[in-house]
A and B are shown apart, each in its own frame.
Chain A
């Protein structure tokens, strides 16, 4: 897959959130794209970056979704994925946070350079998106077999006192490798 060469989970997701093959929504304030990636895609990307086998094995377990966002408004839009709601019909799904990945990498003795690269491929935990600023990266979820919803909530304004933005995707699924 050509996109793999340049990106699943780039720190700035195909600038302007134009994720190749992504499902995109555009509002007057925000462009928002998501693209689930298969375990094989993710492992191939990180293998090409020199990640060791144990790291690739860990990466292949979970559900990676690349997110690209661009602030189209003239005010600050707050990216805070901790405020997003991701759930199956029955259960809330918790993102695997950068801290949890740091603990995993430390336990496995993964080299610092690989840890840094992996960190830069994750969607930032917080960002005051300025007008026209793009951002991108992966969110990682526990792999679930069925569909789930993703509701991305954004505060707006320098003091977070602007009209909030909500974007919702239904029927999202973790991508699986072809049989």
Chain B
């Protein structure tokens, strides 16, 4: 096919290129990020300097506000592709896993939960899935509950895919895609981070390299376990 692409307003270079997503250095997945979150230790240091000039009561109040903000808003700046959303109660999520056992988001009450929607036909899902497995291994189940939801595929398709790509991960099955539809992800793959009270605070835009330091650090700080 002979395709020409011209640019008009709002553009300047008009470069035309063919991209191989498997090529090293391709933009298919963000490998690193300069956005290393600030650790709380640094914040406490700032508070201790502050106490020289203000009353203990004011500082205590400031600390309480700081801790509250930290617990709900996580770190700042956020890793690339993590979107802070207006906090809202997560929709219901109750589905069978591949063994036919029913699992619910309510079972995760008291812990942060990583709710992830995916399908085997989606290239970014294939690329992202191993990073979720490695992230899960790095954080451990006591820190972050992971609820994977496959959208509208059969058990055979899911089994073939997961056994090859991320054999240690388990998934819930949304055979008619209706639960996925209720959650309204911005596409597949899509991840929501739900707090211990069942409220969504963050959404990930597309596939993310969850096993890399910016994301691991972010999740550790979010869930309260900081190195």
Contact = CB atoms under 8 A, between A and B. Distances in A.
A63 interface: no
B187 A135 contact: yes
Interface in B78-116: 80-81, 83
Interface residues of A, number: 66
A157 to B, nearest CB: 11
Given A116-B180, A135-B187, A27 B7 contact: yes
Given A18-B21, A27-B12, A169 B153 contact: no
Contacts of A171: 1-4
Contacts of A113: 152-154, 175-177
Given A27-B14, A132-B80, A167 B5 contact: yes
Contact of A7 (B4, B123, B180): B123
Contact of B28 (A15, A22, A173): A15
B11 to A, nearest CB: 3
Contacts of A15: 21, 27-29, 123-124, 127, 206-207
B211 to A, nearest CB: 16
Nearest to B205: A133
Interface string A17-32: 1111111111111111
A106 to B, nearest CB: 14
B122 A12 contact: yes
A112 interface: yes
A11 interface: yes
A56 B223 CA distance: 46
A10 B122 contact: yes
Interface stretch (A80-88, A94-102, A138-146, A158-166): A158-166
A166 B17 CA distance: 18
A124 to B, nearest CB: 7
Given A12-B207, A18-B26, A116-B177, A34 B18 contact: no
B19 A33 contact: yes
Contact of B9 (A31, A33, A163): A163
B13 interface: yes
Contact of B16 (A20, A25, A168): A25
B187 A12 contact: yes
A168 B5 contact: yes
Given A12-B122, A34-B3, A132 B10 contact: no
B188 interface: yes
Contacts of B176: 111-113, 116
Interface of A: 6-7, 10-34, 36, 45, 48-50, 70, 111-117, 119-121, 124, 127, 130, 132-137, 154, 156, 163-173, 175
Which 6 residue pairs are nearest across A and B when measured between Cβ atoms? Answer: A116-B177, A27-B11, A165-B10, A18-B19, A16-B27, A112-B176
24 contacts: A6-B123, A10-B121, A12-B123, A14-B28, A14-B124, A15-B124, A16-B27, A16-B28, A17-B19, A18-B19, A18-B20, A23-B3, A24-B18, A27-B12, A27-B14, A28-B11, A29-B10, A49-B157, A124-B187, A136-B187, A165-B10, A167-B5, A171-B1, A172-B1
